[in-house]
């Protein structure tokens, strides 16, 4: 059987920037094993699978190693594919994740796409000695969200200098680790490490900004924030705190359109 597949650079205003995600728009759900195999074969940080369900689109996300609860850049990539090839007249798309509930994506007049995601609930926790050892630089504060640990550092320079020990980090019982600090020319910067999920460093992580935005919104007393993820590819995001929801906005570029044999 042949299946259409797309690869999209998400949170990118130009090709080869942002975070690449694969997208498969399916007629019906394949087996979990097949979806995991496709994600492993793609070897991207995320592959999204989407099935239309009446007026909404059900969505699931897989890294090369596991299914995850929420993924921002692959949802943005999926919406880009649907707006471009399936719903050219639509302004808004409704998604549903069996792990994260209702999600939506709005297409703005400048071509940007705005994700509406549930805000994470975070709590400060005691420092984790093994994590601090893995990171090499001791953070000011440590927080735990639904699936990730967030480390607060003093400066963008510290975030840029991080060279984590992924072998040590891999044993932690979390999806990933967010490292963040105030930005030099944006409100905050971050990096995201997830060797536990098969991705040592993710280029741009939309879902991590559901954790980052509540923290920095309170810390800076701002509803609208500009963020940058400091990976090699890099990515810029606009984040807005909206009660118990977070709006995350960015652009996307189509890199590949093809077929896979399954």
The dihedrals phi and psi of 238, each to the nearest 5 degrees, come to -110, 125
Residues 6+ apart with CB under 8 A from 112: 249, 250, 251
Do strands 148-152 and 176-182 pair parallel, antiparallel, or not at all (unpaired)?
parallel
Please count the other Cβ atoms lying within 10 Å of the Cβ belonging to residue 86: 13
46 as an active site residue: the answer is yes
CA–CA dist 189, 73 (Å, integer): 17
Q: 3-class DSSP state for residue 53?
A: strand
Alpha-carbon distance 22 to 7, whole Å?
Answer: 4
**What is the phi/psi pair of residue 30, to 5°?**
-75, 180
Q: Which of 27, 41, 46, 160 is catalytic?
A: 46
CA–chain centroid gap for 130, Å, is 25
> What is the DSSP-derived secondary structure letter of residue 196?
G
Strands 224-229 and 188-194: parallel
Q: Which of 12, 217, 212 is nearest to 112 (CA)?
A: 12
The structure tokens 């969200």 sit at: 145
Please work out, in degrees rounded to the nearest 5, the angle formed at the alpha carbon of residue 252 by the alpha carbons of 195 and 228: 55
- Active site residues per annotation: 46
């Amino acid at each position: 059987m042949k299946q259409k597949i797309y690869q999209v650079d998400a949170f990118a205003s130009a090709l080869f920037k942002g975070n690449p995600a694969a997208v498969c728009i399916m007629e019906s759900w394949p087996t979990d094993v097949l979806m995991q195999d496709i994600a492993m074969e793609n070897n991207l940080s995320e592959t999204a699978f989407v099935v239309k369900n009446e007026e909404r689109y059900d969505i699931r996300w897989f890294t090369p190693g596991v299914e995850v609860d929420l993924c921002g850049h692959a949802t943005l990539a999926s919406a880009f594919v649907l707006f471009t090839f399936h719903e050219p007249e639509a302004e808004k798309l409704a998604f549903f994740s069996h792990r994260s509930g209702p999600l939506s994506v709005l297409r703005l007049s400048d071509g940007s796409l705005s994700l509406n995601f549930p805000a994470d609930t975070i709590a400060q926790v005691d420092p984790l000695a093994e994590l601090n050892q893995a990171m090499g630089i001791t953070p000011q504060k440590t927080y735990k969200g639904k699936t990730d640990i967030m480390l607060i550092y003093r400066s963008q320079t510290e975030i840029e200098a991080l060279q984590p020990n992924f072998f040590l980090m891999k044993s932690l019982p979390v999806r990933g680790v967010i490292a963040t600090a105030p930005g030099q020319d944006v409100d905050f910067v971050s990096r995201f490490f997830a060797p536990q999920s098969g991705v040592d460093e993710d280029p741009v992580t939309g879902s991590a900004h559901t954790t980052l935005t509540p923290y920095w919104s309170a810390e800076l007393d701002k509803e609208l924030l500009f963020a940058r993820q400091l990976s090699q590819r890099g990515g810029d995001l606009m984040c807005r705190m909206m009660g118990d929801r977070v709006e995350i906005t960015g652009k996307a570029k189509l890199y590949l359109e093809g077929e896979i044999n399954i």
